[in-house]
Amino acid sequence: MKLMVGLPSPLRRHEYPGLWEDFFQRLGVDVVFSPPTNKAIFDAGVKLCTGDACLPLKVLHGHVLSLGSRADAVFVPRFVYPAPLEAACPKFCALPDILRLNVPEVTVWDMTVDLNKGLVYTLSTLDEMGRFMEHATGERWAGGASAGRVRAAFVEALTRPQAPWYYRIMSECAGEGSGGCGGYEGGPGAIDWDQANLSGLTGLTEPAVGVIGHGYLTQDAFVTMNLQAKIAGRGYRVITGDDVPYDLKRHCCYPFQNRAFWGVGVDLLGTALTLLNHEDVKGLIYVTSFACGIDSVVLELLERQESYGKEKPCMRLCLDEHTGESGFDTRLEAFFDLL
């Protein structure tokens, strides 16, 4: 009997597009995604999760529940250190355990991504999932799910030549072992914005609005109330962190170019500062969720940096489980009036 593994569409799919389905397909496992966030998934997640959790965590619960009847198990990776010396959000560290407690009717498989301990440790966390694969149907899985085979499939998916920079960064860091890869070697002084490689934003030939935030939040049309479509409807191109090269983010994140404890925070701040200094980007919208600790720090640093940057409209949109669009649209109208 062939196994079917469910992948929640919001969680890390945007930051690691194609990685997890490629991994499972190399093992001969079928993959099914949860549908785009809708009201049923949204409401179910809010009911299942604790009130003080951030909105993306609540939405994830709804996606996992929606996969329970469609898959033998749902795969949710445990991110601890996605890059050496750069930690993930604490909720990412505990995601599989939180889901097992709150959605006990769904079988959750996980692996741990901790590149601070090196690739060998990260690969070793796949062994238990391999055993789950073999015994999930009560009989040995066709072809066997030996530890070597599972590890090899993950490495192949991680380092395939067509992979975006996310895969390459992970594999390069992992190749150095524990604490490897070092920090980004930024200049000792302030960045010369006239010399910075802002041309790395290729194809930007029309006025644009930057949308900053975690990918699993900014790329969710339901949660953000079709924010990107509304911006495009006003004749602006939408630029997100996915459009900014990794090296450019780190280069423009002065004075925080080196390894920081919250790596994703550096990426968000670097994206914002890059776009803030790009002449064709007319304004920034930072999308955050209520109770996000990392965003609270990034926003404070961004507000301080803005006073030394360009005079552009910058707006913070804080989202929670309220789905009324009237107040949301009113703030957007005010933002567009400033452009």
DSSP string, 79-107: EEESBTTBBPPHHHHHHHHHHHHH-TTS-
In what side-by-side order are the strands of the sheet with 237-239?
237-239, 208-212, 281-289, 314-319
State the pLDDT at residue 334. Answer: 94
Is residue 244 a contact partner of residue 165, using CB atoms and an 8 Å limit? Answer: no
Give every residue of the chain whose pLDDT is below 50, as ranges: 140-143, 165, 176-189
State the pLDDT at residue 277. Answer: 80
State the pLDDT at residue 187. Answer: 38
* Domain locations in the chain as residue ranges: 4-175, 198-338
- Calpha distance 170→77 (Å, rounded): 14
State the pLDDT at residue 122. Answer: 85
> What angle in degrees, to the nearest 10, is found between the helix axes of 147-159 and 19-26?
140
Is residue 108 a contact partner of residue 73, using CB atoms and an 8 Å limit? Answer: yes
CA atoms in the 13 A half-sphere facing the CB of 96: 18
- Helices marked H in 103-209 — which ranges? 119-124, 127-135, 147-159, 165-175
Is residue 248 a contact partner of residue 277, using CB atoms and an 8 Å limit? Answer: no
Is residue 183 a contact partner of residue 85, using CB atoms and an 8 Å limit? Answer: yes
75: helix, strand or coil: strand
- E strands along the chain, which residues? 4-7, 30-33, 73-75, 78-81, 108-109, 112-114, 208-212, 237-239, 281-289, 314-319
- Residue 117: which of 156, 139, 85 has the closest Cα? 85
State the pLDDT at residue 274. Answer: 87
Q: Which residues have C-beta within 8 Å of that of residue 233, sequence separation ≥ 6?
A: none
Token pair 């070597």 is found at: 148
State the pLDDT at residue 121. Answer: 87
State the pLDDT at residue 53. Answer: 86
- Residue 179 tokens read as 């604490």
314: helix, strand or coil: strand
Q: Do domains 4-175 and 198-338 have the same CATH topology?
A: yes
Share of the chain above pLDDT 70, in %: 78
CATH 3.40.50.11890 fits 4-175, yes or no: yes
State the pLDDT at residue 181. Answer: 38
The residues with which 285 forms a beta bridge, in sequence order, are 211, 315
CATH 3.40.50 fits 198-338, yes or no: yes
- Calpha distance 165→161 (Å, rounded): 10
Maximal C-alpha separation, the chain? 64
Quote the pTM value: 0.85
